[in-house]
Amino acid sequence: MKGDLHVRICERLGLQCPCLLNQTSLIFCLSTFTLISLFNSGSGQYKHWNPSLQSALLVSFNSKRNTRMTKRSQIILTITAIIFFVIAFTLDITSFGQDRNIAWKNIEVVRILAIVSMVALLGLLLGLFLFRKQNYRRRIELTIPIAFILFSCAGIILTSTNYYGLNGEYNYFSANRDIKNGKIQILETGLILPEPNVDWDKMQEAEKKLEKKFGYKSVYLGCTVTHGIGIYNAVMEDYLENVNGKNWRTKQRHMLDSLMSSKNP
């Protein structure tokens, strides 16, 4: 029916239409017929023109345009979902890009299939509630990629939070803030036991003296160990290396041995 209307309009305009549903021809016919109707409305020409033809033509064109927009959106969502899923997967198996050499050893096929199945099921469920004006097949073509994008974003955020220790007091950002405020400290965790045959009081006094010399202090936090503490200390170590030189830890150990071997540290 839509094609017949198109042909009838083209015949009245004296046009040749090789393709009944060609988008360019539809636009041209619609624009031309509308202009002729406007300019000749008072001359009696085309008085048999039926406005319903224009409405039907608009419906045909809008339907085709919406179909193309939906397909384009589906392609964009699918590509975006693939990119996000690959990024989230890579960050997960490489510990946020730190363990690149053992990345392939961490791949678990069963786990990947289980995740893909779970996310696809989520997309099917979203299809029951979103884009209700479209049929279910077209809905899930949009909701499944959306589900993968949401899952990947959540995975990236979770991995970033764990890596940078954002869920704790000590992390990458708190270390940079403390450096900016002049609060240079190295965090110590775990159980500290005195070394045998070593004067513990003398050793502590020597360590405090060296800490003051190299511009930091040690803070004992107990037995609780988090990844954020490791990131915090790494940032502090980089700062102290820039201030004291690359081999400052080696110099500190030599000076500690010298102080411990002397009678008066």
What pLDDT score does 44 carry? 46
Token pair belonging to 82: 């693939």
Q: Are 73 and 143 found together in one domain? A: yes
Token pair belonging to 99: 């363990």
- C-beta neighbour count of 236 within 10 angstroms: 20
Average pLDDT over residues 175-202: 84
12 within 8 A of 35, measured Cβ to Cβ: no
Q: Are 179 and 132 found together in one domain? A: no
Examine residue 178 and state whether it is found in any structural domain, yes or no. yes
**What are the residue ranges of helices labelled H in the chain?**
2-13, 23-39, 51-93, 109-126, 136-164, 172-180, 200-214, 227-244, 248-261
Q: Are 151 and 191 found together in one domain? A: no
What pLDDT score does 46 carry? 45
Q: Are 153 and 202 found together in one domain? A: no
3-state SS assignment for residue 188: strand
What pLDDT score does 101 carry? 62
144 within 8 A of 128, measured Cβ to Cβ: no
Q: Are 139 and 185 found together in one domain? A: no
Q: Residue 104 carries which DSSP code?
A: G
Q: Are 121 and 77 found together in one domain? A: yes
Q: Are 185 and 249 found together in one domain? A: yes
**pLDDT of 165 over the 60 cut:** yes
Q: Are 158 and 180 found together in one domain? A: no
17 backbone φψ class: left, alpha, beta (φ>0; ψ -120 to 50): beta
pLDDT in tens, 4-13: 655 665 555 4
Examine residue 24 and state whether it is found in any structural domain, yes or no. yes
Examine residue 83 and state whether it is found in any structural domain, yes or no. yes
| Higher per-residue confidence, 12 vs 209 | 209
Examine residue 59 and state whether it is found in any structural domain, yes or no. no
| Higher per-residue confidence, 203 vs 104 | 203
pLDDT in tens, 50-74: 555 555 555 555 555 566 666 787 8
| Higher per-residue confidence, 127 vs 109 | 127
* Alpha carbons 169 and 9: distance in angstroms, whole number: 73
Examine residue 129 and state whether it is found in any structural domain, yes or no. yes
- Write down which residue in 135, 164, 193 finishes a domain: 164
How many folded domains does the chain comprise? 3
Average pLDDT over residues 194-219: 84
Q: Are 95 and 38 found together in one domain? A: no
- Write down which residue in 142, 164, 186 finishes a domain: 164
Per-residue pLDDT band for 246 (boundaries 50, 70, 90) equals: confident
Q: Which domain holds residue 80?
A: 66-164
pTM: 0.58
Q: Are 238 and 217 found together in one domain? A: yes
